Every structure is written in structure tokens, then in C-alpha cells.
Structure 1
Amino acid sequence: MIEERARVVAVEKGAVWVETLRKGTCSSCSGNAGCGQALMDRMGVDRRRGYIRALSDLQLRVGDGVVIGVREEFLVRGSLLVYLLPLLGIFTCGLLAQEAGLGESLVILAGGLGFALACSMARWSSRRTGDHPAMQPIVLRALLNDSVGSC
């Protein structure tokens, strides 16, 4: 289970809306000193807050600190769907067009169409399975008030 700290911003029946702070990984990079992204992160430019709906059976109030979790296999499956499927669409359709003897511009167009088709398939799959309770983030536990941090 991948865990993240968050703060409750709204309460619904059976779920809560939480606010998380997106963090960069620049502090662990060896090129941190000369990196423009690290400078932007230190200035706070890249620190954005994300709002997520998480399922919960706990009695929570607005302002409570919580730990939310997402199962690893769903995160990996979603990443493959969003990143790998469009690449496969580009290469498959482009290679098929090239093997058919089409000109370079038509091969590029076929790759673009493959990309669009794969993105549409990913979107359709996401909408079809996105509301399934097993794929939703869940509240794992509530935090003590002094251990919430700067969410």
C-alpha cells in the first residue's frame, strides 16, 4: 500500500475529501546544486495542493490529519495504461503503415492516429473502472493533531 499524509477538507457519507501536498524528489538527486528544478522547488513554485476523494468509515471532521493509501497494483496498472498504451499505439500504427509501404507523412499520420486511439482506449477504460471501490484511495488511519505536519 502506498501511503500519503493528508488533511480532511470535506466530509461525505462513506468518504472524505482530503488535501495533500505534492512534493518533488529534488532533495535526493545528486545534481541538486545545479538544477533549475531544484531551485524552483526551494522557492516553493512546484508545491501544489491536490484534492482527493478517499473512502472512509472513520468518524472524521474537517481539519483532521489522516493517512490515505492506494494499492500498488492499481497504481502500476494505471501508469501502464496512461504511459505505455499510447506509446504502443504510436509504434504499432506507425510500423504497420511503414510495412504497408506508405510514405513518410502517412506513417507519421498513422502514428498520430494510433496515439489518439490508444489515448481514447485509456480514457474509456479509466471511466469504466474508475468508480470501482477497490480502486479508490482509502483512509488508513487518523493522525494525532500534533503529528499532522504541514499538509
Structure 2
Amino acid sequence: MIEESGRVVAVEAGAVWVETLRKSTCSSCSVSAGCGQGVLERLGVGGRRGHVRALSDLSLSVGDAVVIGIREDLLVRGSLLVYLVPLMGLFAAALLAERMALSEPLVVLCAFAGLALAALGVRWRSARAAGDPALQPVVLRAAIAGNVS
């Protein structure tokens, strides 16, 4: 289970909205001095706040410190869906257009059409799965207030 701490900012029936601080690992990287991401981290751009809806059966109120979690396999499957499927759509459409002996500009156009079609498919699948409780983050426990940023 991947865990993240945060603070409750809104309460719904069976769920809470949690504000988390997105952190970068640039401070521990050995090449952070020569990296654009490291420069952004030093400028303060890396520490943005995000809001996550998490299922909860605990009695929580606004301002409570909590630890939320999501299963690792869900994160891996979601990453593959978001990154790999559109890329596969791009290559599949380009290869199909190439096999059909289309001109190069049309192959490029078909590749972008495949990318867009696959991205729309991912969006459709994500919208269908958005309400599934098995795929949602959950509140694991209430945390001690001093442990949350």
C-alpha cells in the first residue's frame, strides 16, 4: 500500500477530501544541481498542494490529520493505462497506415489520430471506473497532528 499523509479539507458521506503536499525527491538526488527539475524545486515550484477524494468509514472532521493509501497494483495499472495505451495507439495506427502504403504525411496524421483515439479510450475507461470503490484511495488511519505537513 502506498501511503500519503494529509489534512481533511471537506467531509462527504462515506468519503473525505484530503489536501496533500506534493513533494519532490530532488533534494536527495546527486545530480540535482544540473537538473531542471532540481532548479524548479529550489524555486519552490515543487511543493504544490493537491486534493484527493478518499473513502472513509472513520468519523473525521475538517482539519483532521489522516493517512490515505492506494494499492500498488492500482498505481501500476493506472500508469500503464495512461502512458502505454496511447503510445501503443500511436504506433499501431502508424504501422497500419504504413502497411496500407499511404504517403508519409498521411502516416503521421494517422499516428496522431491513433494517439487521440487511444487517449479518448483511456478517458472513457477512466470515467467508467471512477465510481468503483475498489479503485479509490482510502483513509487508512487518523494521524497525529505533528506528523502531517
* Distance in 1 between residues matched to 2:61 and 2:17, nearest whole Å: 11
For 1:28-75, what per-residue CA distance to the aligned partner results, in whole angstroms no more than 9, with x for missing partners? 322112223212212212221100110001111111111000111111
1:70 aligns with 2:90: no
**Structure 1 outlier segments of 4+, above 6 Å:** none
What TM-score, normalized to structure 1? 0.94
Q: How many aligned positions are there?
A: 149
Aligned residue in 2 for 1:33 = 33
Secondary structure of 1:61 counterpart: coil
2:125 corresponding residue in structure 1: 125
CA distance in structure 1 between the aligned counterparts of 2:34 and 2:82, rounded to whole angstroms: 31
Q: Per-residue deviation at 1:147?
A: 2.2
Task: In structure 2, give the amino acid aligned to 1:143.
Answer: A
Shift of 1:24: 1.3
Q: Secondary structure at the match of 2:126?
A: helix
Offset at residue 144 of structure 1 (A)? 1.4
Question: What TM-score, normalized to structure 2?
Answer: 0.95
Distance 2:39 2:102 in 1: 47
Counterpart of 1:106 in structure 2 is 106
The Cα offsets for residues 14-36 of structure 1, whole Å up to 9 and x where unpaired, read as 11100001111212322112223
* Separation in structure 2 between the aligned mates of residue 16 and residue 142 of structure 1, nearest angstrom: 12
CA RMSD in angstroms, aligned pairs only: 1.1
Q: Which residue of 1 aligns with 2:146?
A: 146
**Residue 106 of structure 2: SS of its match in structure 1?**
helix
Deviates more, 1:86-95 or 1:40-49: 40-49
Q: What is the distance in 2 between the residues matched to 1:67 and 1:58?
A: 12
Instruction: Report % sequence identity.
Output: 62
